[in-house]
């Protein structure tokens, strides 16, 4: 049983690294496309993980374009950061005494970060709901930001249970 859990944890660590690298590449590509978009929009449209529709927003004004692109890049960066936090959490997870304040704080941090993604996604999505010619899903990569709110709630509850676990572990360790 113990070996199975350790194996699953190792597999999870590898998977989180893969996802984190993938999301970092996506975020980096979006930042570069945003910058190149000012110089050569035709080239930027064909870049990896870049939606051609993004550059149509320029028609609505340069500041609208900058704000929307900043939000899209921020969402990607937050998503990558969530996975980075998960890597940190998994590397610090000790199965011998799993309840540590560090892990609980990281879980809480992930919950807050998910909440930020939900907020940013909701703002961008609600802005584009007014425009029927834009596809929301391909635009921000978030079809319904409410899923992030749900996951944030679940992770927050787990972090609070973890905190209680720390108290119980401490009590157990200090029982003579």
Partner 1 sequence: MPIIVNLDVMMAKRKMSLNELSEKVDITLSNLSVLKTGKAKAVRFSTLEAICKALDCQPGDILEFVEDD
What residue ranges bind partner 1 (CB under 8 A)? 170-171, 174-176
The C-alpha atoms of residue 49 and residue 4 are separated, in whole angstroms, by 36
* Residue (15 or 168) nearer to partner 1, CB: 168
The C-alpha atoms of residue 110 and residue 35 are separated, in whole angstroms, by 29
Nearby residues of 15 by Cβ (< 8 Å), 6 or more positions away: none
* Residue (135 or 167) nearer to partner 1, CB: 167
* Residue (137 or 170) nearer to partner 1, CB: 170
What's the min distance (Å) between Cβ of 172 and partner 1?
A: 9
What's the min distance (Å) between Cβ of 94 and partner 1?
A: 20
User: CB–CB of 138/92 below 8 Å?
Assistant: no
Measured from the Cβ of residue 90, the count of other Cβ atoms closer than 10 Å reads: 18
* Residue (39 or 176) nearer to partner 1, CB: 176
User: CB–CB of 122/136 below 8 Å?
Assistant: no
What's the min distance (Å) between Cβ of 168 and partner 1?
A: 11
């Amino acid at each position: 049983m113990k070996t199975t859990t350790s194996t699953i944890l190792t597999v999870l660590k590898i998977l989180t690294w893969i996802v984190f690298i993938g999301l970092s590449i996506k975020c980096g590509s979006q930042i570069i496309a945003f910058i190149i978009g000012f110089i050569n929009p035709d080239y930027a449209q064909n870049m990896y993980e870049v939606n051609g529709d993004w550059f149509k927003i320029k028609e609505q004004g340069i500041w609208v374009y900058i704000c929307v692109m900043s939000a899209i890049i921020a969402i990607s960066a937050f998503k990558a950061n969530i996975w980075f936090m998960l890597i940190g959490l998994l590397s610090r997870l000790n199965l011998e005494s799993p309840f540590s304040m560090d892990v609980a704080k990281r879980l809480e941090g992930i919950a807050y970060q998910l909440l930020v993604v939900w907020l940013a996604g909701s703002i961008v999505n609600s802005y584009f709901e007014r425009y029927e010619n834009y596809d929301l899903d391909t635009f921000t990569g978030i079809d319904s930001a409410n899923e992030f709110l749900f996951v944030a709630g679940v992770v927050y509850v787990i972090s609070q249970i973890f905190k209680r676990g720390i108290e119980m572990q401490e009590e157990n360790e200090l029982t003579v």
